[in-house]
């Protein structure tokens, strides 16, 4: 099957679906998810299957290279990104689903620039080639809207890259409300959480102050969980909340969409 | 510049009053800017503006020459200053030649950049800032902390204290009373001033016109009351045509203060002509390079497109926390973090590239589409030109080998479970608790084995 072009093309894949046949899909799991939240990865897999995809992870894919790229080390970023790019290029055609807005941005938006910067024309061309196939998780899933009656009120954190580089704003909120959850008003839900990769280590005081202002604005009395689509932002916010003694559950959106997940948010 | 960014930021963060003032002021700026989203085709205008700025910069020397010729034809005198010292000398010589004792100034970040006030004061000249915010900062012996709202870090109570001390009587923290006091005080200074110094929002090359955007009316006083008017202008603050100015003027007030048009848009073409009632006898335009021409033709050239609207400061989550002074430079926020090291690549300036989480909010609001987050990344890469630290080189080695990557993921997972507080740098765990891993084992192996 040829991969249709465009960022959000699951419906095109669905059009080619035949009964119960699942559409092959490459899942790029992200290093943070593999190391810190394999359970979230399972929820991602089950959600994708529920929407008609057959996800597989290319065994040789590693990391997108973003930590080094954002820190100002393009050579090191390219060394790592090249490995993943090759693994994805060798994998079957079809969408490459990335369950993190930030990694999806790195691969879709910044890879061509990264390889241009280090003078690797072959990799740059391959990155341009694959860019259209890179799809952030909620954008892919939102092409197949499902109504359900799950319970709970959550706050949703709009992560920066997803919002301002991939321009994904409505999809995750629509997925949550479709599933039955209420999404609470949260002032400045689109302001940066303060993670920023190495920024959180180089300027920890500013980073924590940014997290604090986000957390201070949470309507804690009216919500049962904080939800987002980027585990790294969620680690930052959860890490700060735990230190402050706030035990609000923090969930990746896939956990709330997981067909075998709990029917209420806790 | 004192200390390092982290030290200055930590001091700023400890000042809760500062944070409240910043949050209130930047929220207000963002809120009023939304009123400027009234034009239906804003995004198209921004793209057009980006392109027009490119067109000007491609031919900057030629356009500057054209501007200088036109200023001359209109009766003004153009001076070229390669750096801050030259610019200050030019203005100082003009002041000496006319025995200037008092100077009134309208707001100009460039004069802050070159330290003009200090240079004039050093030869005994009384320099009076007449923009309300600048005047507040000057009275306090402070520095501006925002390119548009110099006193953004002050509460009205603090302003009342300053004014009361100067007035010798108790003034209430009431904006109307405080403004009335400032107006009365500054009016005297306008009338006695021997020289007016202004900045320049845009020079228009085809007519040699200097355009100033102000809201308080002080700019008009500075440019028309004293017998000599000196414009200090950054060499990039120029458009070629009035059509280009039209586009910039559609975007600048909207991006700055959400206004469709600023209260005053002053257009100065030459000094007072025969038969005119107002205006100076002499008009001098000092065109300042001070590092700008080095930026032309580099990967960061788009920074010269900046029209100083300050929208990027107001949306920046880092600026919001630490304010302008913590940047340790005249320009702050995202534009300051990019521009400052371009003008002067000292270690203290280049370090400012770290004052960003790369959230892109700055790029989103920039009226001329400057990719500020990309320019910050470029600076970070330049800062690391000597090579990545050993940790990153090792990381690249391991994570470019799939088997080694998989092994390290398992190790990180174990580490995060067994010794969560010691497997990440203490700078992270000083303020945060590493969450326990959710789930265990290898996601990819379990998926491959059909266990999910």
Domain boundary residue, one of A106, A124, A140: A140
Answer yes or no: is A216 within a domain. Answer: yes
pLDDT for the residue numbered B105: 97
Q: Do A196 and B353 touch (CB under 8 A)?
A: no
Question: Which domains, from first to last, does chain B contain?
Answer: 1-35+302-387 (1.10.1060), 36-290 (3.40.50.10420), 391-448 (no CATH)
Helix extents (H) in B214-265: 218-224, 242-257
Q: Which residue of A has its CA nearest to B10?
A: A205
Both A207 and A242 in one domain: the answer is yes
pLDDT for the residue numbered A1: 35
User: What percentage of chain A has pLDDT greater than the value 70?
Assistant: 92
Domain holding A128, by residue range, is 10-140
Residue A266: pLDDT band (50, 70, 90) is low
Domains of chain A: total: 2
Q: Do A67 and B397 touch (CB under 8 A)?
A: no
Both A176 and A203 in one domain: the answer is yes
User: What percentage of chain A has pLDDT greater than the value 90?
Assistant: 86
Q: Which of B317, B392, B441 shows the shortest C-beta gap to A71?
A: B392
Residues of A in contact with B435 (CB under 8 A): 36, 235, 238-239, 242, 250
Both A85 and A190 in one domain: the answer is no
Which tens digit of pLDDT belongs to each residue from A105-121?
999 999 999 999 999 99
Both A75 and A28 in one domain: the answer is yes
Q: Which of A46, A201, A205 shows the shortest C-beta gap to B13?
A: A205
Q: Do B439 and A38 touch (CB under 8 A)?
A: yes
This model of the complex carries an ipTM of: 0.94
Residues of B in contact with A203 (CB under 8 A): 5-6, 9, 318, 354-355
Both A123 and A194 in one domain: the answer is no
Which tens digit of pLDDT belongs to each residue from B320-340?
999 999 999 999 999 999 999
Both A154 and A37 in one domain: the answer is no
Q: Which residue of A has its CA nearest to B363?
A: A164
Answer yes or no: is A3 within a domain. Answer: no
Please check whether residue A25 touches B, CB under 8 A: no
Q: Do B440 and A38 touch (CB under 8 A)?
A: yes
Query: Does residue B209 surpass a pLDDT of 60?
Result: yes
Q: Which of B9, B357, B439 shows the shortest C-beta gap to A42?
A: B439
Which A positions 32-61 lie with beta carbon below 8 A of chain B?
A: 33-42, 45-46, 55-57, 59-61
pLDDT for the residue numbered A2: 38
pLDDT for the residue numbered B419: 85
For residue B409, give Cα distances in angstroms to A70, A162, A171, B168, B391: 21, 25, 30, 69, 16
d(CA A36, nearest CA chain B) in Å:
4
Q: Do B358 and A205 touch (CB under 8 A)?
A: no
Query: Does residue B69 surpass a pLDDT of 90?
Result: yes
Residue A84 belongs to a domain with what CATH number? Answer: 3.40.50
Answer yes or no: is A41 within a domain. Answer: yes
Q: Which of A34, A199, A209 shows the shortest C-beta gap to B356?
A: A199
pTM metric for this prediction: 0.94
Residues of B in contact with A70 (CB under 8 A): 358, 377, 380
Both A153 and A96 in one domain: the answer is no
Domain boundary residue, one of A140, A163, A191: A140
Residues of A in contact with B11 (CB under 8 A): none
Both A14 and A116 in one domain: the answer is yes
* Short-list A250, A247, A257, CA closest to A235: A250
pLDDT for the residue numbered B350: 95
Q: Residue B176, exposed/middle/buried by CB under 10 A (0-12, 13-18, 19+)?
A: exposed
Q: Which of B320, B435, B437, B441 is the best residue to mutate to test the A interface, defined by the most A CB atoms within 10 Å of its own CB?
A: B435
Q: Do A236 and B396 touch (CB under 8 A)?
A: no
pLDDT for the residue numbered B91: 98
Answer yes or no: is A262 within a domain. Answer: no
Please check whether residue A249 touches B, CB under 8 A: no
Per-chain mean pLDDT for chain A: 92
Both A175 and A238 in one domain: the answer is yes
Q: Do A205 and B396 touch (CB under 8 A)?
A: no
Query: Does residue A16 surpass a pLDDT of 80?
Result: no
Cβ atoms of residues B323 and B22 within 8 Å: yes
pLDDT for the residue numbered A7: 42
Residue A6: pLDDT band (50, 70, 90) is very low
Residue B141: pLDDT band (50, 70, 90) is very high
Answer yes or no: is A30 within a domain. Answer: yes
- The mean per-residue pLDDT over the stretch B352-369 comes to 96
Q: Which residue has the higher pLDDT, A71 or A10?
A: A71
Listing DSSP states for chain A in one string gives -PPPPSS--HHHHHHT--TTPPEEEEE---HHHHHH-HHHHHHHHHHHHHTTEEEE--TT----SHHHHHHT-HHHHHHHHHHHHHHHHHSPSS-EEES-HHHHHIIIIIHHHHHHHTT-HHHHHHHHHHHTTEEEHHHHHTTS------B-EEEEE--HHHHHTS---HHHHHHHHHTTPEEPP-TTTTS--S-TTTHHHHSHHHHHHHHHHHHHTS-GGG-SEEEES-HHHHHHHHHHHHHTT----EEEHHHHH-TTS-SB--
pLDDT for the residue numbered A19: 55
Q: Do A203 and B395 touch (CB under 8 A)?
A: no
Which tens digit of pLDDT belongs to each residue from A225-242?
999 999 999 999 999 999
Q: Do A57 and B444 touch (CB under 8 A)?
A: yes
Per-chain mean pLDDT for chain B: 94
Answer yes or no: is A127 within a domain. Answer: yes
Residue A4: pLDDT band (50, 70, 90) is very low
Which tens digit of pLDDT belongs to each residue from B401-440?
999 999 999 999 999 898 877 778 889 999 999 999 999 9
Give backbone dihedrals phi and psi of B237, rounded to 5 degrees, phi first.
Answer: -85, 60
Residues of A in contact with B380 (CB under 8 A): 70-72
Q: Do A80 and B440 touch (CB under 8 A)?
A: no
d(CA B383, nearest CA chain A) in Å:
8
Which tens digit of pLDDT belongs to each residue from A59-87?
999 999 999 999 999 999 999 999 999 99
Range name among A16-25, B129-138, B296-305, B412-421 with the lowest pLDDT average: A16-25
Residue with tokens 């390219």: A78
Residues of A in contact with B427 (CB under 8 A): 201-202, 204
Query: Does residue B163 surpass a pLDDT of 60?
Result: yes
Q: Which residue of A has its CA nearest to B443?
A: A38
Query: Does residue B115 surpass a pLDDT of 70?
Result: yes
Answer yes or no: is A172 within a domain. Answer: yes
Answer yes or no: is A79 within a domain. Answer: yes
d(CA B29, nearest CA chain A) in Å:
15
Both A38 and A112 in one domain: the answer is yes
Residues of A in contact with B353 (CB under 8 A): 72
Both A89 and A165 in one domain: the answer is no
Domain boundary residue, one of A85, A113, A140: A140
Q: Do B399 and A80 touch (CB under 8 A)?
A: yes
Both A225 and A241 in one domain: the answer is yes
Which tens digit of pLDDT belongs to each residue from A142-180?
999 899 999 999 999 999 999 999 999 999 999 999 999
């Amino acid at each position: 099957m040829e991969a249709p072009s465009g960022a959000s093309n699951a419906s095109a894949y669905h059009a080619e679906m035949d009964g119960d046949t699942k559409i092959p899909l490459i899942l790029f799991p992200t290093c943070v998810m593999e190391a810190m939240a394999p359970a979230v990865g399972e929820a991602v897999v089950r959600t994708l299957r529920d929407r008609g995809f057959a996800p597989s992870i290319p065994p040789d894919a590693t990391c997108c290279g973003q930590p080094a790229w954002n820190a100002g080390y393009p050579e090191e970023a390219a060394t790592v990104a090249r490995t993943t790019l090759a693994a994805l290029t060798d994998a079957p055609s079809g969408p490459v689903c990335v369950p993190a807005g930030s990694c999806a941005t790195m691969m879709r938006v910044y890879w061509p620039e990264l390889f241009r910067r280090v003078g690797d024309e072959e990799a740059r061309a391959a990155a341009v080639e694959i860019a259209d196939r890179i799809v952030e998780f909620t954008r892919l899933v939102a092409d197949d809207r499902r109504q359900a009656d799950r319970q709970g009120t959550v706050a949703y954190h709009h992560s920066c890259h997803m919002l301002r580089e991939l321009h994904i704003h409505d999809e995750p909120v629509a997925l949550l409300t479709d599933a039955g959850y209420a999404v609470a008003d949260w002032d400045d839900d689109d302001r940066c959480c303060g993670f920023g990769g190495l920024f959180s280590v180089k300027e920890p005081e500013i980073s924590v102050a940014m997290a604090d202002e986000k957390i201070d604005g949470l309507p804690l009395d009216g919500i049962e969980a904080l939800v987002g689509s980027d585990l790294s932002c969620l680690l930052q916010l959860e890490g700060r909340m735990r230190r402050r003694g706030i035990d609000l559950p923090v969930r990746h959106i896939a956990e709330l969409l997981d067909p075998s997940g709990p029917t209420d948010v806790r | 510049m004192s200390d390092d960014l982290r030290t200055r930021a930590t001091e700023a963060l400890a000042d809760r009053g500062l944070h409240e003032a910043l949050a209130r002021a930047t929220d207000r700026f963002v809120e009023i800017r939304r009123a400027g989203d009234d034009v239906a085709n804003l995004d198209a205008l921004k793209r057009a503006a980006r392109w027009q700025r490119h067109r000007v910069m491609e031919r900057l020397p030629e356009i500057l020459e054209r501007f200088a010729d036109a200023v001359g034809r209109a009766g003004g005198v153009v001076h070229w200053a390669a750096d801050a010292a030259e610019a200050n000398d030019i203005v100082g010589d003009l002041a000496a030649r006319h025995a200037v004792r008092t100077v009134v100034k309208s707001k100009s970040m460039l004069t802050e950049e070159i330290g003009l006030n200090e240079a004039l004061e050093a030869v005994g000249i009384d320099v009076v800032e007449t923009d309300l915010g600048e005047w507040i900062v000057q009275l306090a012996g402070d520095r501006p902390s925002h390119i548009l709202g110099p006193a953004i870090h002050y509460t009205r109570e603090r302003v009342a204290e300053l004014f009361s001390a100067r007035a010798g009587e108790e003034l209430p923290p009431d904006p109307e009373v405080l403004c009335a006091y400032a107006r009365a005080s500054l009016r005297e200074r306008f009338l006695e001033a021997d020289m007016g110094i202004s900045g320049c929002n845009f020079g228009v090359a085809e007519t040699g016109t200097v355009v100033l955007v102000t809201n308080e009316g002080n700019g008009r006083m500075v440019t028309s009351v004293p017998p000599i008017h000196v414009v200090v202008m950054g060499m990039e603050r120029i458009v070629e045509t009035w059509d280009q100015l039209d586009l910039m003027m559609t975007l600048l007030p909207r991006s700055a203060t959400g206004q469709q048009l600023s209260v005053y848009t002053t257009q100065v073409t030459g000094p007072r002509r025969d038969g005119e009632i107002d205006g100076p006898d002499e008009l001098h335009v000092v065109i300042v390079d001070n590092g700008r021409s080095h930026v032309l033709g580099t990967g960061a050239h788009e920074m010269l497109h900046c029209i100083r609207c300050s929208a990027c400061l107001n949306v920046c989550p880092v600026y919001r926390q630490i304010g302008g002074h913590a940047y340790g430079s005249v320009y702050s926020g995202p534009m300051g973090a990019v521009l400052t090291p371009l003008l002067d690549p000292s270690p203290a300036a280049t370090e400012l590239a770290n004052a960003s989480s790369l959230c892109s909010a700055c790029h989103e609001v920039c009226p001329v589409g400057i990719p500020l987050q990309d320019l910050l990344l470029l600076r970070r890469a330049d800062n690391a030109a000597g090579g990545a630290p050993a940790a990153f080189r090792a990381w690249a080695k391991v994570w470019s080998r799939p088997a080694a990557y998989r092994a390290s993921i398992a190790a990180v997972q174990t580490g995060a479970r067994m010794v969560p507080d010691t497997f990440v740098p203490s700078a992270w765990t000083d303020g945060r608790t590493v969450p326990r891993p959710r789930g265990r084992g290898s996601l990819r192996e379990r998926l491959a084995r059909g266990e999910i």
